[in-house]
Amino acid sequence: MKDKNIFKSKWGFILTAVGSAVGMANVWGFPYKLTTNGGGAFLVVYLVFIVIFSYLGLSAEYAIGRRAKTGTLGAYQYAWKTRGMEKVGKVIGYLPLAGSLCIAIGYAVIISYVMKSLFQAVTGSLMTVDTDTWFNSFALNGFSVVPFHIVVICLTLLTCITGATSIEKANKVMMPMFFVLFVILAIRVAFLPGALDGYKFLFNPDWSHLKDPSVIVGAMGQAFFSLSITGSGMIVCGAYLNKKENIVYGAKQTGLFDTIAAMVAALVIVPAVFAFSGEQAGGPGLLFVTLPKILQEMHGGRVFAIFLFLAVLFGGITSLQNMFEVVCESVLHKAKFLNRKVVLILIGTATFIPGVFMEDITSWGPWMDLVSIYIIPIGATLGAISWFWIMDKNELMDEINTFEGSGKKYTVLWHSLGRFLYTPLAIVICVVALAFKVAF
């Protein structure tokens, strides 16, 4: 990798990492799970796991990426090479990499839904439709959002065109706009009659829910996937990180802003649902049926519909951008003679062709469940084992402690927590997903 292909600033890196993490897990997953699992009680457990996973899991993925100076394939090869098992590492890396490409195929479809919604919010037609009928008109029909699908993929590829430089520039615009737009929406929702009940529910813990182990496991899974610790995506962020930056500090900041994104989304969605006495919903039904119905009844709803879907579009593109870049970097690492633009076009094509055949949710839904139940958890677990059990401890610790400034140095305790706390939790998530077929 060329040295110039690095982030130019600490905040460029943090915003890019946050953009990679922020996505549908924050927008429709977190508010729904929060409301159906005890409100504040779920939130407290979720925050505990966010702290653990960002401090250990994210830090490790950033560290191996920067140490190996490359993304997924090279990182696994490097980690296993420190134990004389380079050939094993070469093979293992392909599974989490495949996970990134597979989830990108389905993710592009849902962002196409978002862009269609944004388009109809701008034209005003969204404000007069029956939202159930409208959603079913494209979610249950094939080849229903092809033009938007093409635009989404092309826009995302453009943000990757020069690697770290264009990715950083794009995230410096889209991520602040994501937060600004959601804060505006949260302020508007705060003035709705009945919104107070939503706030009370959010911040008044019902501890009895914690007697159910599935609530704790659900909070753990939500935190895990919200931070995008997949054994692949965040590695490339670390690969583009300057040696002077404090890795653990960057991981903490990523966790903080990812949590803020999830909370701001909850502060928009939960009080709004309470204000309009709507039923709690999650997934596509929340974003494309419940929320548009609420916006139709709000004064100024059309403007706020534009804000909502524009913000979600920004979050979606920054996540998809990371999935594309992970694959692009790994291809270029293996075949340095290839041109980046050519590789990006091939990735866009490889994403669009299968994706266009699953634009109906009856195809898209099972595909995403398959990826999130099987490929992603296994990949993340392989990553945890590779960094904390296979990779030479001294090399990993050396990279964690390589930074400029007066920040504290991290001791072997950090590595021990990664080995005996984080790795077992990753395995639990994997086992739960596989055994009970839970898509987090």
pLDDT digits (tens, 9 = 90+) for 13-66: 999 999 998 888 788 888 888 888 878 889 999 999 999 999 999 999 999 999
pLDDT at 359: 95
Q: Which structure tokens are listed for 109?
A: 């479809």
Q: How far apart are CA 238 and CA 59, in angstroms?
A: 9
**pLDDT on residue 281:** 61
Instruction: Tell me what the mean pLDDT of segment 372-380 comes to.
Output: 87
Rounded to an integer, what distance in angstroms lies between the CA atom of residue 263 and that of residue 376? Answer: 24
Mean pLDDT score across all residues of the chain:
91
C-beta separation of 336 from 87 below 8 A: no
Average pLDDT of span 65-86: 96
Q: Is residue 248 a contact partner of residue 410, using CB atoms and an 8 Å limit?
A: yes
* Those residues with Cβ within 8 angstroms of residue 149's Cβ, 6 or more apart along the chain or in another chain: 108, 109, 112, 352, 355, 356, 359
Which token pair is 3?
């040295």
**Predicted confidence (pLDDT) at residue 197 exceeds the cutoff of 70:** yes
Output 240 or 40, whichever has higher pLDDT. Answer: 240
Does position 163 have pLDDT exceeding 70, yes or no? yes
DSSP state of 162: T
What is the Cα 13 distance to its own chain's centre?
A: 15
Host H or E run for residue 154: helix 146-159
pLDDT > 60? residue 68: yes
Higher pLDDT, 124 or 198: 124
- Spatial distance between the Cα atoms of 440 and 422, rounded to a whole number of angstroms: 18
Q: What's residue 1's pLDDT?
A: 42
Residue type, 313: L
- CA angle 315–431–329, rounded 5-degree value: 40
**What phi and psi, each to the nearest 5 degrees, are found at residue 68?**
-80, -15
Give the position of tokens 């392989």: 382
Two structure tokens written together for 218:
């659900």
Radius of gyration for the alpha carbons in the chain, expressed in angstroms and rounded: 21
What CA–CA distance (Å, rounded) separates 100 from 231?
9
d(CA 219, CA 308): 25
**3-class secondary-structure state, position 377:** helix
- Please tell me the distance from the alpha carbon of residue 408 to that of residue 230, in angstroms, as a whole number: 28
Alpha carbon 320 to chain centroid distance? 9
State whether residue 218 is helix, strand or coil.
helix
User: Who contacts 320 (Cβ-Cβ below 8 Å, separation ≥6)?
Assistant: 104, 107, 108, 111, 152, 156
Taking residues 230-238, what's their average pLDDT? 92
Q: pTM score, two decimals?
A: 0.94
In the block, which residue shows the tokens 């388009």? 119
The pLDDT assigned to 273 comes to 86
Q: 63-94: b or e for each residue (b if 16 or more CB lie within 10 Å)?
A: bbbbbbbbbbbbbbbbbbbbeeeeebbbebbe
Q: What b/e readout covers 179-196, taking b as 16+ CB neighbours within 10 angstroms?
A: bebbbbbbebbbebeebe
- Beta strands (DSSP E) in 22-127 are none
**Residue of 283, 219, 265 lying closest to 52 (CA atoms):** 219
Backbone CA torsion sign across 348, 349, 353, 356: positive
User: In the predicted model, is pLDDT for residue 295 greater than 70?
Assistant: yes
* pLDDT given for residue 412 in this prediction: 95
**How high is the pLDDT of residue 158?**
96
Total residue count of the chain as it appears in this document:
440
pLDDT on residue 264: 92
